[in-house]
Structure 1
């Protein structure tokens, strides 16, 4: 009997099915972790914007109209949402800065 060593089609199919099952089980957790990291990064950006706006208001007597006014005196660069959301500055009435992406807040 002359049998070559290697995987049969059935064995290979089983291995591919197992690999696909592992990916299908782990993918939602990986994506959820990514969303949490982006939301946390956005919250840090909003916190930095809030602090910079307060310092600007204390020194200039009013809130900035645009985020780029805060650079470089109050921020090293204009913060950017990792999910591409747009930031709105806070108001003198006490409204905090906000992000347009749902779930991203301070």
Structure 2
């Protein structure tokens, strides 16, 4: 329901000319929107950026989309590992790769 509410408020903000607020609502809603499951949200945001944005804001939208796709892939991979192993999966800190020892190495997510 939060995604639909954000899209509705974004439409309202676009209607009154508050493009920055509409963009902020899209960014917020993107944090919990998988591109594979909700492609209509991403198409809507893409169309918004084509009409109202510039190259920088369009890149930010694409970066958010790639990040959320990566998060969804990692979540699916973790769910499969938990289901297959039936136990606890040792996971690294956010943005780090666990090499099996006591060390974590920093990586760039997307």
| Global fold match (TM > 0.5) | no
Greater RCO, CA 8 A, separation 6+: 1
TM-score range for the pair, normalised by the shorter chain length: 0.3 to 0.5
Q: Per residue, is there more helix in 1 or in 2?
A: 2
TM-score, normalised via structure 1 length: 0.37
TM-score, normalised via structure 2 length: 0.36
